[in-house]
Structure 1
Amino acid sequence: MTDGRKQHQRGPVILRRAQIGAGTTDQRLLDSRGSADFIHTDPWRVLRIQSEFVEGFGLLAELGAAVSVFGSARTAVDHPEYATTRRLGEALVRAGFAVITGGGPGTMEAANRGASEAGGVSVGLGIELPFEQSLNEWVDVGINFRYFFARKTMFVKYAQAFVIMPGGFGTLDEMFEALTLVQTQKVTRFPVVLFGTAYWQGLFDWLRGTVQPAGKINAADLDLLHLTDDVDDAVAHIVAAEQARSEQTRAEVAVATDTVRRNDGQ
């Protein structure tokens, strides 16, 4: 072309004639002082959501075997549940697991504390709330989320089991989401331990005595829950489930490998 201005390349895009604009992309970016309203639009929120998944995946991808522990943020440090959860965190680390919590105070702090004091990996996945709540001091690896659903994905994706200590709405929400994912086979071989028989027995009895007879769940669905008051029993149940999962995975790999070999030999 005789006139260089009749063609302009903007990244991978070629513009010619009347489509050529003034300035460059960098120039428009750096010179722009427009309205900030765009940060409150849905497209921008999508980018923030994406960034939370990227940060979470990047932080936890090499975590190894882990257990998510849930419970009330309102549990006092001098409450027996705090001491029990602290022992649970220690026992999980001794069994080879990292401990993941919501990173807050109370029961979450107790689990993180037990894991950290035992020399294990103590993870806290915090959430932005209307009231101030920072990650507890026993979190060694932590990240704060804006969105509950991104945070929930991390709890499930990077854990081999859930332990549900006594708690409120948030704890119940995590428990029933885990049960729903297992029931619908979105995740497989995922033990859910209810710790504290006196606290959880009424709920379990209602599920067995009302929900199941009404045909809303199957009898096998109740087998997804393991009630206990003993730290060693809770950890043993999780370890046994993990061993069963490993054995099944090896068996599945062996079958697949054998199938490939037989097909290659035909």
Structure 2
Amino acid sequence: MSESTTLAPEVTEALRAVIEQAGIEADVDLVARILATGVGLGLDGADRLDLKITSAALTEMRAAFTLFMPFEGVPKVTIFGSARTRPDDAQYRAAADVAAALAARGWMVVTGAGPGIMQAAAEGAGPDHSLGVSIRLPFEEKPNAVVAAAARNVAMKYFFTRKLMLVKESQGFVCVPGGFGTLDELFELLTLQQTGKADPTPIVLLDGPDGTFWQGLRRFADEQLIPSGVISPDDLDRVLLTDSVERAAAEITGFWRNYDSLRWVGKRLVLRLRAEPADAEVEALNERFAGLLVQGRIERRGALRAEREDGDRVELPRLVMHFNRFKVGDLHHLIRAVNALASAPGVETAPPRPAPGI
């Protein structure tokens, strides 16, 4: 908030009194900041359209948070794809099959709740494993019957709030061929991963049997994007292109085979693992990934002080390093190497809900 619209002390106290009267006890400082921002908009003289956008966005986010809250401990995969794909299309079947495979492994499937690929994924997962975040459009007014039947849908006015929820809540993503909307969602994912604004997660580009849609994207990257220098040669290495439902499901769950989560503590990156690596394995990681460090070595450690103070997954073994933040887009290489260690668990387990930096 600008200095000219800083709230008077008596207004700030009044807002805190409202919070106390409402019975709010957790994260009072953040709730106070939200209220203060709203009052500040009024003091700034924001026009009615700006206020309507702000109000609608907050209202939609609250509704979405409420929808997802009961399933906080359940791993989720978001499936993107065209609303125009017909039920007799091989891509429709692929989306339904991968959703069914992941639901059978305990995952919930999140979609845009519309027709086409979104309906296919919801059908494959079934109503008990489906969540929907729909968009209010003049030609797409209702969520598909699967998510509507279980009343597990929230409707959004704005694409940006919808996209936030489709990305924020999931630990894996499957993109089936689609148009502008699907490509927009995919490129948003890739941008968040490349820039480190979201923690690494598995991304699968799934086509129908013998499909070539995503191969066209690969060719475009190889022939245009990489030679022109606008992306790095290995930027698409984090993505699996496949027409196999089995490989797609294995990519989503296998990403969490040994890797659990990460956290930055000051300048140090902490990778939390499910199994402690052996000395020889840590040495091999140091030899392979020395170029990603700004100093020192990758070290096997217990929970750091900040993690202990927060009770942040303190029971897990860790690898701690001074990782080069300018190379954060390469983190997925290290995570895959950690998952491939001989000490990694043989059984895949569900990941925690990450804390994305969106």
Which TM-score band applies after superposition, normalised by the shorter structure? Answer: 0.7 to 0.9
What per-residue deviation string (whole Å, max 9, x for no partner) do you get for residues 119-145 of structure 1? x42111100113243100111310100
| Equivalence for 1:217 | 231
Partner of 2:178: 167
Name the structure 2 match of 1:249. 272
* 1:224–1:12 distance in 2 versus 1, CA, 3 Å: closer
- Is residue 103–residue 135 contact of structure 1 (8 Å, CA) maintained in 2? yes
Tell me the distance in 2 between the aligned counterparts of 1:132 and 1:227: 30
Give 3-state SS (helix, strand or coil) of 2:212's partner. helix
Partner of 1:96: 106
Give the structure-1-normalised TM-score: 0.77
Please say which of residues 91-100 and 190-199 is displaced more in the overlay. 190-199
Q: Matched residues in 2 for 1:177 and 1:261: separation?
A: 30
Residues 119-138 of structure 1 correspond to what in structure 2 (within 5 A)? 120-138=128-146
| C-alpha distance in structure 1 between counterparts of 2:145 and 2:197, whole Å | 34
In the alignment, which residue of structure 1 is the partner of 2:119? Answer: 109
Tell me if 1:50 matches 2:58: yes
In structure 2, list runs of 5 or more residues that go unmatched: 1-12, 16-45, 262-270, 275-299, 309-358
Assess if the C-alpha contact under 8 Å between 1:90 and 1:114 holds in 2.
yes
SS in 2 for 1:76: coil
Number of aligned pairs? Answer: 226
Q: Which residue identity does 1:257 align to in structure 2?
A: A
CA RMSD of aligned residues (A): 2.7
Counterpart residue identity of residue 204, structure 2: V
Aligned equivalent of 2:215: 201
Which portions of structure 1, spanning 4 or more consecutive aligned residues, are displaced by more than 6 angstroms?
none
State the partner residue of 1:154.
165
Structure 1 pair 155–260 and aligned structure 2 pair: CA distance change class (3 A): closer
Q: Specify the SS of the correspondent of 2:82.
A: coil
- Does residue 236 of the first structure (1) align with residue 250 of the second (2)? yes
- Return closer, same or farther for 1:214/1:59 CA change in 2, 3 Å cut-off: same
Q: Is the 8 A contact 1:160 1:242 kept in 2?
A: no
Evaluate the alpha carbon distance shift between residue 233 and residue 57 of structure 1 in structure 2; reply closer, same or farther with a 3 A threshold: same
Q: Secondary structure of 1:232's match?
A: helix
Q: How much has 1:53 moved relative to structure 2?
A: 1.1
Work out the CA distance in 2 between the residues paired with 1:76 and 1:261. Answer: 49
Distance 1:221 1:155 in 2: 22
Within 2, Cα distance between the matches of 1:179 and 1:256?
32
In the alignment, what sits opposite 1:32? Answer: none
Find the aligned partners of 1:43 and 1:261 in 2 and give their Cα distance: 39
Q: Does the C-alpha gap of structure 1 residues 227 and 261 become closer, same or farther in structure 2, counting only changes over 3 Å?
A: closer
State percent identity of aligned pairs: 38
Matched residues in 2 for 1:168 and 1:214: separation? 24
Q: 1:94 Cα shift?
A: 1.1
- 1:260 is displaced (CA, Å) by 6.6
Unaligned runs of 5+ in 1: 1-10, 14-37
Structure 2-normalised TM-score? 0.58
Residue type matched to 2:226 in 1? Q
Q: Among 72, 91, 104, which residue is 2:82 paired with?
A: 72
Partners of 1:182 and 1:62 lie apart in 2 by: 27
Counterpart residue type for residue 164 of structure 2: T
What code does the residue aligned with 1:82 have?
Y
| 2: CA distance, partners of 1:244 / 1:54 | 33
Shift of 1:86: 1.2
What secondary structure, in the 3-state scheme, does the structure 2 residue paired with 1:143 have? Answer: strand
Question: 1:47 Cα shift?
Answer: 1.5
CA drift of 1:162 comes to 1.1
Contact kept, 8 Å, 1:95 with 1:235, in 2: the verdict is no
Larger radius of gyration: 1
2:170 and 2:257 map into 1 onto residues whose CA distance is 14
Aligned partner of 1:249: which letter?
R
Q: In 2, Cα distance between the equivalents of 1:39 and 1:56?
A: 26
